[in-house]
């Protein structure tokens, strides 16, 4: 009997060990359930236009040399006789056109006085032949390139060489200290809609950018002291004469941006198969950024579907507006990485992480329908707070981020559905588009109880596309089985001063 008892004890221990190992294994798999991160974007990359950028960064000269090659196929449905490139860096050449030079921003963005940036185009070639190219706007952000008639379904190669002059400017494009940001700086093809190329002004309020997904291959040659954060997987290799080469691949992204700094520390973590990288002046700041972003990514992946890319990078920069999102990249105000600002940093990074679904994955018209990404990200921030910190924290944040904007008096006739060109104040824009726009979404949730389920279906149905307000409305009505158009009109288009 004693021998059998011992055998049974050993058998029981063995079974318990096996169960423990299985539990740990399932826990590990559950924590990394999307181990094949980036597969969704890779699948969507088929048939997209492809950009290749060969970049040389010369900080001593404050320049970036750019050679861009675009493999383009005409899917517009029309015969084209011109291509239009958006060269937003050109707007930084003068105080009259710089988006950072408005009164509300000038002192914060140009603390040393105005600093001119800009773009100098050396030439544009179509299929190896020099093409006529000319700007059609004073800010030099709309470059029209004449080409021989290009039938729908046909394609060709566009080559462009230019040099960017980098301003001393704390904005999307510029530098402060030895940190340099290149947001909406590289030439990119305009969007073709309703028989014409979009040529929206680089408005200083909001994010005046509309772009379609494409594939990017980027090479950046820089001094070896620099780190690089970008909209894609960065691989680093040594080059000659104290240089480093960053090689970056990004599939099915709506835009490409990057930042460089010799002042960053790095921290990384992996969540759901994606690598989260924080870059900040201190290791603690970098770690905190990676932690907050990973937490948000985990919540949003569960609510709205798997994160589309294989990495997400946060870069601390001098950016007094707060934060700016790009596919796989967040630029965030460096002050917020200090310990005393950690709560602000968390709110900022959660909102910007939500943009990886509502902007990067599902695009919208940020000029005429800014609420469609900003208000959705505010709602996602509220949902994160509820999931992470509970009902009381959620209700307190609703008071600050939604109820207060609904009660604030706005002098100008503005609604959340107004185009960004109607706004002349950043404060009014934030109050109306973010706060009152989020109130509409809370109203939808109160009426239907289905908003999270709808947004998940919305992200699945319209992944890697541009979605109009009408498409959003039609999809919402179809999903809920209710006509919510009057509610949308009441919240988005009705004045409430």
3 state SS for the chain? CHHHHHHHHHHHHHHHHHHHHHHHHHHHHHHCCCCCCCHHHHHHCCCCCEEEEEEEEECCCCEEEEEEEEEEECCCCCCEEEEEEECHHHHHHCCCCCCCCCCCCHHHHCCCCCCCCEEEEEEEEECCEECCEEECCCCCCEEEEEEEEECCCCEEEEEEEEEEECCCCCCCEEEECCEEEECCCCCEECCEECCEECCCCCCCCCCCCCCCCEEEEEEEEEECCCEEEECCEEEEEECCCCEEEEEEEEEEECCCCEEEECCCEEEEEEECCEEEEEEECCHHHHHHHHHHHHHHHHHHHHHHCCCCCCEEEEEEECCCCCEEEECCEEEEEHHHHCHHHHHHHHHHHHHHHHCCCECCCEEECCCCCCHHHHHHHHHHHHHHHHHHHCHHHHHHHHHHHHHHHHHCCCCCCCCCCCCHHHCCCHHHHHHHHHHHHHHHHHHHHHHHCCHHHHHHHHHHHCCCCEECHHHHHHHHHHHHCCCCHHHHHHHHHCCCC
Whether 54 and 154 map to the same domain: the answer is yes
Q: Decide if 385 is inside a domain.
A: yes
The answer to whether position 215 is within a domain reads yes
36, part of any domain: no
Domain boundary among 355, 372, 403: 355
pLDDT tens digits for range 178-231: 999 999 999 999 999 999 999 999 999 999 999 999 999 999 999 999 999 999
**What is residue 56's predicted lDDT score, i.e. its pLDDT?**
98
**Would you state the structure tokens that stand for residue 82, as one six-digit string?**
């011109």
Same domain, 267 and 376: no
Q: What is the pLDDT of residue 239?
A: 81
> Are 400 and 272 contained in the same domain?
no
Measure Cα distances from 129 to 72, 134, 158, 160 in Å: 15, 16, 9, 11
Query: Which among 304, 329, 485, 307 is positioned nearest to 379, based on CA atoms?
Result: 304
> 397 and 287: one domain?
no
Q: Where residue 324 sits, what CATH number does that domain have?
A: 2.60.40.1730
Angle formed at CA 198 by CA 196 and CA 202, multiple of 5 degrees: 155
> Is residue 154 within 8 Å of residue 73, measured between CB atoms?
yes
Closest CA to 357 of 301, 407, 294, 414: 301
Q: Which residues contact 2 (CB under 8 A, 6 or more apart)?
A: none
Structure tokens at 328: 């796989």
Instruction: Say yes or no: 196 and 136 in one domain.
Output: yes
CATH number of the domain enclosing 415? 1.10.390.10
**Would residue 86 count as lying in a domain?**
yes
232 with 195, same domain: the answer is yes
Q: Do both 310 and 389 map to the same domain?
A: no
Residue 106 lies in a domain: yes
Regions of the chain where pLDDT drops below 50 = 1-34
Domain end marker among 326, 355, 384: 355
In a domain, 37, yes or no: no
Does 380 lie in the same domain as 349?
no
CA 160: distance to chain centroid?
A: 25
Taking CA atoms, 4 is separated from 9, 10, 13, 14, in Å, by 9, 10, 14, 15
Whole-model pTM: value is 0.92
Residue 431 is assigned to a structural domain of this protein = yes
Neighbours of 422 (CB within 10 A): 16
- Both 7 and 56 in one domain: the answer is no
71 and 196 together in one domain: yes
| 400 located within any domain | yes
| Residue 497: predicted pLDDT | 65
Please tell me the distance from the alpha carbon of residue 478 to that of residue 476, in angstroms, as a whole number: 5
Distance between CA atoms of residues 359 and 362, nearest Å: 5
334 shares its domain with 369: no
Q: Given strand 258-261, what is the order of strands in its sheet?
A: 173-176, 179-182, 258-261, 227-230
CB 445 within 8 A of CB 453: no
Distances (CA, A) of 387 to 6, 53, 69, 384: 48, 41, 45, 5
| CA separation for the pair 150, 74 (Å, rounded) | 7
Q: Could you report the per-residue pLDDT of 312-354, keeping only the tens digit for each?
A: 999 999 999 999 999 999 999 999 999 999 999 999 999 999 9
Contact 418, 432 (CB under 8 A): yes
- Contact criterion met (CB below 8 Å) for 118 and 89: yes
Tokens of 221: 């040659």
Backbone angles phi, psi at 403, to 5 degrees: -65, -45
Pairing of strands 274-280, 311-317: parallel
Pair (216, 284) in one structural domain = yes
Please state the domain count of the chain. 3
- Contact, 126 vs 157, CB < 8 A? yes
Checking DSSP bridges between strand 155-165 and strand 63-73, what pairing results, if any? antiparallel
Last residue of a domain, one of 328, 355, 382: 355
Neighbours of 478 (CB within 10 A): 11
Count Cβ atoms within 10 A of the Cβ of residue 59 and give its class: 0-12 exposed, 13-18 middle, 19 or more buried: middle
Domain that holds residue 254: 43-355
């Amino acid at each position: 009997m004693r021998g059998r008892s011992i055998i049974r004890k050993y058998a029981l221990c063995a079974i318990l060990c096996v169960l423990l190992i299985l539990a740990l294994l399932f826990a590990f798999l559950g924590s990394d359930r999307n181990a094949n991160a980036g597969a969704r974007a890779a699948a969507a990359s088929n048939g997209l236009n492809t950009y290749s950028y060969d970049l040389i960064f010369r900080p001593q000269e404050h320049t970036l040399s750019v050679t861009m090659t675009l493999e383009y196929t005409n899917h517009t449905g029309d015969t084209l006789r011109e291509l239009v490139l958006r060269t937003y860096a050109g707007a930084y050449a003068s105080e009259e056109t710089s988006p950072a030079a408005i009164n509300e921003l000038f002192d914060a963005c140009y603390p040393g006085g105005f600093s001119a940036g800009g773009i100098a185009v050396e030439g544009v070639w179509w299929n190896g032949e020099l093409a006529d190219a000319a700007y059609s706007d004073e800010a030099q952000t709309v470059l029209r390139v004449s080409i021989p008639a290009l039938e729908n379904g046909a394609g060709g190669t566009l080559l462009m060489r230019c040099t960017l002059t980098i301003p001393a400017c704390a904005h999307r494009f510029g530098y402060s200290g030895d940190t340099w940001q290149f947001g909406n700086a590289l030439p990119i093809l305009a969007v073709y809609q309703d028989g014409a190329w979009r040529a929206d002004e680089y408005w200083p309020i909001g994010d005046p950018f509309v772009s379609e997904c494409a594939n990017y291959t980027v090479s950046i040659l820089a001094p070896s002291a620099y780190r690089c954060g970008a909209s894609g997987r960065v691989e680093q290799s040594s080059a000659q004469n104290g240089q480093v080469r960053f090689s970056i691949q990004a599939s099915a992204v709506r835009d490409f941006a990057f930042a460089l700094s010799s002042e960053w520390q790095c921290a990384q973590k992996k969540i759901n198969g994606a690598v989260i990288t924080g870059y900040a002046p201190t290791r603690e700041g970098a770690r905190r950024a990676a932690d907050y972003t990973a937490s948000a990514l985990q919540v949003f992946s569960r609510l709205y579907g798997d994160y589309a890319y294989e990495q997400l990078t946060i870069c601390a920069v001098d950016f007094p507006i707060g934060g700016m999102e790009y596919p796989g990249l967040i630029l965030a105000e460096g002050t917020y990485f200090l310990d005393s600002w950690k709560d602000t940093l968390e709110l900022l990074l959660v909102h910007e992480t939500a943009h990886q679904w509502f902007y990067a994955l599902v695009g919208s018209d940020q000029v005429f329908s800014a609420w469609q990404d900003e208000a959705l990200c505010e709602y996602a921030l509220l949902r994160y707070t509820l999931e992470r910190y509970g009902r009381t924290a959620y209700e307190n944040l609703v008071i600050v981020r939604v109820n207060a904007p609904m009660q604030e008096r706005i002098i100008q006739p503005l609604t959340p559905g107004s185009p960004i060109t109607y706004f002349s104040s950043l404060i009014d824009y934030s109050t109306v588009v973010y706060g009152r726009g989020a109130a509409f979404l809370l109203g939808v949730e109160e009426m239907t109880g289905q908003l999270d389920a709808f947004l998940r279906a919305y992200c699945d149905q319209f992944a890697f596309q541009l979605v109009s307000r009408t498409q959003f409305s039609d999809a919402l009505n179809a999903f809920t089985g209710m006509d919510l158009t009057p509610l949308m009109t009441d919240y988005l288009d009705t004045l409430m001063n």
